[in-house]
Amino acid sequence: MTQAQRKEQIYRAAEHLFSRRGYHATTMREIAATVQIEGGSLYGHISGKYELLYTIVLRASEQFRQATQEVLTGGGSAPEQLHELMRRHVAIVTASVERAAVYHHEWRHLEDEDQTLLKRRRDEYEAAYRQIIRRGVAEGAFVAQDERLASISILSLLNWTYQWYQPEGALAADALADHFYTIVMCGLAPRNDSERSG
């Protein structure tokens, strides 16, 4: 196993333990035991538990940022961009529900400065959804009483996924994102018009 592979293995062990037991309750000893190395040897790979938390949370944040940049600069109509961004989000979360759980729960244990960075990133991410919705409303592709609440609603669907999604289950990430997109676009009320988006 290379140095890089070992480090990756340590991150995955930390994601697993932090997501189950929380950052505070997890010890370096447990992380070492999970990857089957001596406790002291961990420090040849990482500086400590905080580095693990910081890296896990920032990695997730970076994945979301990259998705928005690619989607926003990639062209397409507002509904197409919304659909694509929802697919990317679900793909990120379902690829590691454990990382997503750490991202959403354990950021509170980051130091103030790191929390500030993370909050800015999250605001930017939410702003990307508002931007798409605003454009869609302007172009007549969306109807929304309140852009912010519409954005929050969509993000709620996407974010909550890590709470219930079974990676070993039959529901593929894209199929789930498409279901979400249909609900967000069409709602539950029957439409008199024959055309349903999605």
The residues binding a second copy (CB under 8 A) are: 20-25, 79, 104-105, 108-109, 133, 136, 140-146, 149-150, 152-153, 155-157, 159-161, 163-164, 176, 179-180, 182-193, 195-197
The residue whose two tokens read 């999605």 is 198
The smaller minimum CB distance to a second copy, of residues 4 and 143, is found at 143
Distance, CA of 179 to CA of 183 (rounded, Å): 6
The smaller minimum CB distance to a second copy, of residues 25 and 95, is found at 25
Half-sphere exposure of 158 (CA within 13 A, CB side): 27
The smaller minimum CB distance to a second copy, of residues 5 and 108, is found at 108
Q: How far is the CB of 101 from a second copy (least distance, A)?
A: 9
Q: How far is the CB of 7 from a second copy (least distance, A)?
A: 26
Q: How far is the CB of 133 from a second copy (least distance, A)?
A: 7
Q: How far apart are the first and last CA of the chain?
A: 45
Distance, CA of 198 to CA of 187 (rounded, Å): 11
Q: How far is the CB of 83 from a second copy (least distance, A)?
A: 11
Q: How far is the CB of 117 from a second copy (least distance, A)?
A: 18
Distance, CA of 190 to CA of 103 (rounded, Å): 37
User: Residue 140 has which token pair?
Assistant: 């007549």
The smaller minimum CB distance to a second copy, of residues 45 and 103, is found at 103
Nearest to 123 by CA among 64, 56, 55: 64
Backbone φ and ψ for 146, nearest 5 degrees, come out as -150, 110
The residue whose two tokens read 């189950």 is 20
The smaller minimum CB distance to a second copy, of residues 4 and 188, is found at 188
